[in-house]
Structure 1
Amino acid sequence: MATATATTGTVLVTGGAGYIGSHAVLALVDAGRPVAVIDTLATGFRWAVPEGVPFYQGDVADPNLIDRIASEQGISAIMHFAGSLLVPESVVKPLDYYRNNVVASRSLIESAVRNGIKHFIFSSTAAVYGVPEVVPVDEMTPKSPINPYGNSKLMTEIMLADVARAHPINYGALRYFNVAGADPAARSGQSTRGATHLIHVAAEAARGLRSEVMVYGTDYDTPDGTGVRDYIHVSDLAAAHVAALGALEAAPTESFALNCGYSRGFSVLEVLDAVDRVTNLKLKRTIAPRRAGDPDTLVAATARIHERLDWTPKYDRLETIVSHALEWERQLDLRGLRP
């Protein structure tokens, strides 16, 4: 694995006022890296950007704004989180997703090349694999997305690969599995209204904000009949981005695509049981029909990320992920931040 020996400039975090992006900003600040943030605040929150971090409200597809940020802040790398991310919505509004996730990314990548920005980390997804035939899923698994969201992410990965062959820029595409939890110091967490992540939904139910948790399907080919997923703590994921940046800086002619997960899956019922244990409650569970396209099991093969990056997860116990998510829900109420 490779790590950079020195920092080289400011990191521009797009979507840095959102869930994962804000945690990446915290990780960069904690690592002593200078950071700037751009976010439309369509789904992000200004309070999620730490005090002292330069903030620009705007669109990554605005080339004049990106040029100004690059000039004012001395940008040497981009972490790109901005975009749309709801799978069901992408099926209903595919053109929105191709505009927000593909067209906007193309403009941002072009801005990076024009401004001599050398490193680009892209927020990708396990959705690029579609419904894989073999689990755990490694990076060589065929890419067969089954929805516009997955297609839009794969298209951007392809663009980055082509651009890296033609220009002096390298990239890391990090393919997330199921992201959950919140900053252990409760500085940020999942705050978007209507977010559908299971652990977030269960935490809301534990706070009395939902009367039940829907369980979509109990006829999967899994030990308890519910879908199994690989849940990764958002702060571990943010740390992986910092490690990926170090690897890109240390080897400026090399690029990579890596799975981000723990190589361990939990079923829907196991997750809800963990919430019950942590809260000493019993969440109401309502069984509903399974959703089209949901695989039985989706777990990451992670040998490559451990070989490539200087990264060791710190928060990989399910109860830890649940506890941090629950504490963040409590903080939203205490601080009056709930949207």
Structure 2
Amino acid sequence: MQSDKRVPVLVTGGAGYIGSHAVLALQDAGWPVAVIDNLSTGFAFAVPDGVPLYEGDIADADLLARIFAECGTKAIMHFAGSVVVPESVKNPLKYYENNTVKSRALIDAAVRAGVPHFIFSSTAATYGIPEETPVVEDAHKSPINPYGWSKLMTEQMLADTAAAHAMNYCALRYFNVAGADPQQRSGQSTAGATHLIKVAVEAATGKRESVSVYGTDYETADGTGVRDYIHVSDLASAHVLALEQLLAEPGHSLTMNCGYGRGYSVLEVLDSVDRVTNRPIQRRFEPRRAGDPAALVSDPSRIRGTLPWEPQYADLDLIIRHAMQWEDRLSEIRQG
């Protein structure tokens, strides 16, 4: 499957959490890479030295045309967008603008420039509350919030575009992404992040007083919600392998879950944080949040059967250790 041709790649949102790790994975593997990011939630320091950073909007057709021409772009990895689920409920039009309308503009610019390969950062939120778990890609998709709908709409646009134009794509549906680059080159840096492991390590470092546990009466082993956590560097490596697959089979597109197929409850995660950091954190028990499924765990059979993807960091304690190391480093970066 390995392609001997490493084409120039444009990473949208490449100064953000997952995008910056994809940039590192591409750079480590020898791909020419450039970044476009408006830095609304990303950080210039997350973009490695030597990688061009274009500060701007993915809906700016003139800027995109210039980038494509200057970089010779042949593939796009699209991470730019808004990702906070509760915010999407309160401000749905922001999410349809940032995640759907602007993705449409990006896809249009790619078609006009003849960019033939597109990898899209999608989400398990497209499934809504799954009828069965682990969740397979062909499961019924009924998002329960505007965030999930905004991503599913973009998946549909890509499918229709690939049917009409010389483009293939891969939509990767993430489960719960956590951790940080093992070499501490990047990590989750966004203030006010809502992901459990990020919140927990902030509490362990004294940046938060406590961690809220939403719901203790689910039909799970300990009553708290169960999720599938994937290390961000394993996720990034999946993007590089997916790109190689798109180059190897130009007429074929892919949709795949990105997870380990193993669920951990909220309390199991917090126990792991206590164990790894030796800094027990205060837990606040709150009512369930509307729309939270009891369990959301991936079936990774398709990605494991399609790509030579061998996760290197599929261990909850290790994910938390890397997240904690980055949290300490982030404090140094902000003080420096």
Partner of 1:330: 328
TM-score, scaled relative to structure 2: 0.99
1:255-308 Cα offsets, whole Å, 9 max, x none, are 010000000000000000000111112211010001010000100000000111
Of 50, 54, 62, which residue of structure 1 is paired with 2:52? 54
Q: Which residue of 1 aligns with 2:116?
A: 118
CA distance in 2: counterparts of 1:173 and 1:189, whole angstroms: 23
SS of structure 1 residue aligned to 2:77: strand
Q: Which residue identity lines up with residue 199 of structure 1 in the other structure?
A: I
Q: CA deviation at 1:337?
A: 6.1
On the 8 A contact 1:259/1:301 being kept in 2, the answer is: yes
Q: Report the Cα offset of residue 335 of structure 1.
A: 2.3
Could you say which residue in structure 2 is the equivalent of 1:135?
A: 133
Residue of structure 2 equivalent to 1:3: 2
Counterpart for residue 195 of structure 1: 193
The answer on 1:226 being equivalent to 2:227 is no
The CA distance in 1 between the partners of 2:322 and 2:275, in whole Å, is 14
- State whether residues 13 and 78 of structure 1, in contact with CA within 8 Å, keep that contact through their aligned partners in structure 2: yes
Equivalents in 2 of 1:13, 1:280: separation in Å?
A: 37
- The residue number in structure 1 matching 2:39 is 41
**Amino acid of the residue matched to residue 89 of structure 1?**
E
Tell me the alpha carbon deviations over residues 100-148 of structure 1, each in whole angstroms, 9 at most, x when there is no partner. Answer: 0111000000110111101000000000000001000000101100110
State which of 54, 70, 73 in structure 2 corresponds to 1:72.
Answer: 70
Q: How high is the sequence identity, in percent, across the aligned residues?
A: 65
Q: Is the 8 A contact 1:217 1:288 kept in 2?
A: yes
Partner of 1:160: 158
- Distance between the aligned counterparts of 2:240 and 2:280, measured in 1? 38
What is the aligned partner in structure 1 of residue 105 from structure 2? 107
User: Which residue does the alignment assign to 1:285?
Assistant: 283
1:186 corresponds in structure 2 to 184
Q: Please state whether the residue corresponding to 2:271 is helix, strand or coil.
A: helix
Separation (CA, whole Å) in 2 of partners of 1:117 and 1:333: 39
Q: CA deviation at 1:79?
A: 0.1
Please list every run of at least 4 consecutive aligned residues from structure 1 whose deviation after the TM superposition is greater than 2 angstroms. 335-338
User: d(CA) in 2 for partners of 1:72 and 1:5?
Assistant: 22
- Deviation track 1:224-243 (CA, whole Å, cap 9, x = no partner) reads 00000000000000000000
Tell me the distance in 1 between the aligned counterparts of 2:310 and 2:126: 24
| Mapped contact 1:3–1:310 kept (Cα < 8 A) | no
> 1:85 is matched by which residue type in structure 2?
V
| 234-243 or 278-287: bigger deviation | 278-287
Stretch deviating more after TM superposition (280-289 or 268-277): 280-289
Gaps of 5+ in 1: none
Q: CA–CA distance in 1 between the matches of 2:98 and 2:281?
A: 36
Structure 2 partner of 1:25: 23
What is the aligned residue count?
A: 336
One-letter amino acid matched to 1:5: D
Rounded Cα–Cα distance in structure 1 between residues aligned with 2:280 and 2:119: 40
Cα distance in 1 for partners of 2:102, 2:278 equals 45
2:213 to 190, 206, 215: 215
Structure 1: distance between partners of 2:325 and 2:279: 15
